[in-house]
Structure 1
Amino acid sequence: MTRSIPALALAGLLFGCGGMPEEAESTLVSEAQSPDVAPPEASAGEVSASQITTVTIAGSSVRYNSDTDNFVVSDTAADGHSAVAHIYNYNTGNYTMCWNSQGAGTTRTCDRSFANGINIAFRACTGEAGPGTLVACSVWVRVGTSGFAK
């Protein structure tokens, strides 16, 4: 099966995009960002060592706390879509999601137990909870879990 990459996603892959957000700064990306874009390579770029990292797009905000491995997923728009944290674990190669389908103005906390000192990547998405499909996503942000060696 052949997949096509939207022009915006391809341009981001070819020319790179932004950097890591500064502490307490959000990353905002157009909803045109494809939900099929893979997480960054494990050796590419810097890893955020901040305790709290927040990523947002229109309709969704995801906050990760590296000390507790908690994701807080906020639905920020009455757009009919759920808010989603899409998470990639470099240690296991597994993807997981934390869905908030409770409606606009709500938050959901998902507790994860990652191994200490590994890299993960996550992004904020909107999606359709019923079929479990992503509609739009921010760029991936790489972070280290508690005990991450700089």
Structure 2
Amino acid sequence: MHLIGIDIGSSSVKASLINGEDGVCIASAFYPKQEMKIKALQAGWAEQEPEQWWENLKLALNDVLNQSGFAAETIEAIGISYQMHGLVVVDKNQQVLRPSIIWCDSRATNIGDKAFKQIGEQRCLTDLLNSPGNFTASKLK
């Protein structure tokens, strides 16, 4: 049994092929080899193109399969980790409409801080598990 772990980070996209029986990493790869660019059109803004994540994921998966010699059909499960609080806006056909507003973008923290006060500190920290200052919902406005 083979498993694939994928991490879509802001610096690179990483993929690892794991032996599901013993947990041993069979192959690993990441792309790009230099950090991905983060666009900051204004102070406090941070955006990336989701298409670059997809292209880098395809390269990393191809490398992992080539390194291992296993066919994609032998993979039984995939686990995905993604940048926290990233916002990808798509249309009804699932086409990306704009660059992703990523986790370190702080343009909407005032909206999140207001929500934190209105919802209440106790509920945010116990039920929502954090302050919504940089959360995705704040970035929708």
Please state which band the TM-score falls in when normalised by the shorter chain.
under 0.3
**Per residue, is there more helix in 1 or in 2?**
2
Q: Which has the higher strand share?
A: 1
Normalising by structure 1, report the TM-score: 0.26
TM-score, structure 2 as length reference: 0.27
Larger C-alpha radius of gyration, 1 or 2? 2
